[in-house]
Amino acid sequence: MKILKIAFLATISLNLASCSEDDTATPATSSAEVPAVYKKVYGATSITSDGTYITFKTKNLPDHKSPYYATSNALYEAYTGTTFGGNAFKKNPNTISELSVTVKIPLNPKVDAAHAATPLGAIGIALNGVAFFNQYAGPNNQALTNEIVSFDKYYGHPQNSGVYHYHVEPLYLTTFKSTKSGLMGFLLDGFPVYGPQEENGTTVTSSLLDAYHGHTHTTIDYPKGTYHYHFTADAPYLNGSGYYGTPGTVTQ
């Protein structure tokens, strides 16, 4: 009996160790409720569903090198190259901050005739848990002309409170984590965001998209078809005249 007891305790110990490794390897999810496509947001610390909304929790930290990390951070990298559009890099004075962000998006997104305008600040979430911002700079919806020079080599930067974000194609994701035609994340209205190419290799331009910078057809993630946004190299880059659907919420 003593030998059996020792074996039983050893089995429990091994099972607990296995569970611990799984918890650190992937975001915590409710697998019975969360469709697989949302689990592609690998940068979330948790992903859950209440049957109406998908909720992501994230620290909003890019998983790639940037000159906007503190020099003591392992992901710090000085950069002096050219940014989006071939501009010479000019660092802004801000530094990336670790945050506690909750993003809620509709589980079953639908078109909204009101097409609410996207605000300044976070309008969606990227696969690595980083925020998407719209095509304007603060504080008064200015063109991105002066901000583009401050994008790091992966086309992101932080604003004055340390929120790192992408206005344009998230180059790290399209190069290393997905493809130019792959899923990039979701806007707050629940509709997916794809890269600057179609699956057949066609480059997407704003002229091929509607007023909200998207269109409807099948994708590898949605074989029955869905409305989706695309990043493009030309303005408005990600979103045009507003959300296609009804936006959820983002809190910090």
Q: Is the pLDDT of residue 94 over 60?
A: yes
Q: Is the pLDDT of residue 173 over 70?
A: yes
Q: How confident is the model at residue 188, as a pLDDT?
A: 98
- Burial class of residue 212 in the structure, from the number of CB atoms within 10 Å of its CB (0-12 exposed, 13-18 middle, 19+ buried): buried
In the structure encoding, which two tokens stand for residue 129, read together? 């848990």
Q: How confident is the model at residue 29, as a pLDDT?
A: 61
E-state strands within 87-202 = 101-106, 124-126, 131-132, 136-137, 142-143, 156-158, 164-166, 183-187, 192-194
In the structure encoding, which two tokens stand for residue 208, read together? 């091929």
Q: What is the DSSP letter of 39?
A: G
**Extents of the domains making up the chain:** 26-251
pLDDT, one tens digit per residue, over 114-172 is: 999 999 999 999 999 999 999 999 888 999 998 999 999 999 999 999 999 999 999 99
**30 falls in which pLDDT band (50, 70, 90)?**
low
pLDDT, one tens digit per residue, over 54-92 is: 999 999 999 999 999 999 999 999 999 999 989 899 999
Report how far residue 171's alpha carbon sits from residue 178's, in angstroms, rounded to the nearest whole number: 10
Helix (H, G, I), strand (E, B) or coil at 25: helix
Closest CA to 145 of 135, 131, 132: 135
Sign of CA dihedral 20, 22, 26, 30: negative
